[in-house]
Amino acid sequence: MALEDAGVEGQGINGATVGVCMGTTSGEPQFVERYNDIRKASSLDSVPAGLPLQYPCHVIPGRIAFEFGLKGPCLMIPTACAAGNFAIGCGFDWLRSGEADMVLAGGADPFSRITYMGFSRLGAIAPERCQPFDRERQGMIPGEGAAVLVMEPLQAALARGAHIYAEMLAMASAATRIT
C-alpha cells in the first residue's frame, strides 16, 4: 500500500537501489511461543535442537524485499518500542550516504502471548480499558500493527510528482555506553 500511495508500485522500481529497514518489538514470536509450548508440555530435552535457530528476526524486512524484488540493503531493528523510529533513521542514513535511492522503512509487530505477557509482567497493561488521553489513565492495551514509509531524496520525489507527506531534515539517536 505504501508503494501504491507513493505512486511507484508497478513502475519497475530498481530493486538494486531500494532498501528495506523495519523495526519490531518481538519480530516473529510464533517460534518462541512454539518453543515455550513444547517445553511446558514436556521438557527442555523434547525441544527440537534446531528450533531456537529458526527464530527469524530478519523475516519481516526479508519478506518485503523478496515480495517486491528489492536487492538493496535489508535490515531488521529489534529495539522494542523505538524500533520503527530507528528504522526510519536508518533509512534516512542509507539515502544520505547513497547506499539506497529509495527505502521502505517502518515497523511491524504481530500480537502474541509473549508480547502480552511481557507488558503484563512490566505492570504496563491497563486494568480495564485503554484511555490514552485521560488524566487518570492506567496503562496500555497491546495490539498489533504495521506502518511503512516510502522514503527518497526530496529532488527525486519532486521529479516524480510524488505526494510528499513530510520532509526529514536530520536524525539523531542517543545511547549510553557503559564501560
A 10 A CB-CB count for 97 gives 9
Position 178 confidence tier, pLDDT thresholds 50, 70, 90:
low
Amino acid at the residue 157:
A
Angle made by CA atoms 142, 135, 114, in degrees to the nearest 5 = 15
29-56 mean pLDDT: 73
Q: What are the start and end residues of each CATH 3.40.47.10 domain in the chain?
A: 15-110
Position 74 confidence tier, pLDDT thresholds 50, 70, 90:
very high
Position 114 confidence tier, pLDDT thresholds 50, 70, 90:
confident
**Antiparallel, parallel or unpaired: β 102-109 and 145-151:** antiparallel
CA distances for 174 relative to 12, 90, 96, 97, 104, angstroms: 37, 14, 19, 20, 23
Position 128 confidence tier, pLDDT thresholds 50, 70, 90:
confident
Q: Which pLDDT belongs to residue 39?
A: 75
DSSP H or E run through 108:
strand 102-109
Rounded-to-10 torsion of CA 45, 46, 51, 55: -80
169-174 mean pLDDT: 83
Three-state DSSP class for residue 88: helix
Contact 77, 24 (CB under 8 A): yes
Q: What's the whole-model pTM score? A: 0.79
Contact 151, 93 (CB under 8 A): no
For the segment 78-101, what is each residue's pLDDT rounded down to a tens digit? 887 889 999 999 999 999 999 999
Angle made by CA atoms 137, 123, 89, in degrees to the nearest 5 = 80
Residue with cell 497493561: 125
CATH 3.40.50.1000 describes domain 15-110: no
Q: Which pLDDT belongs to residue 164?
A: 94
147-168 mean pLDDT: 94
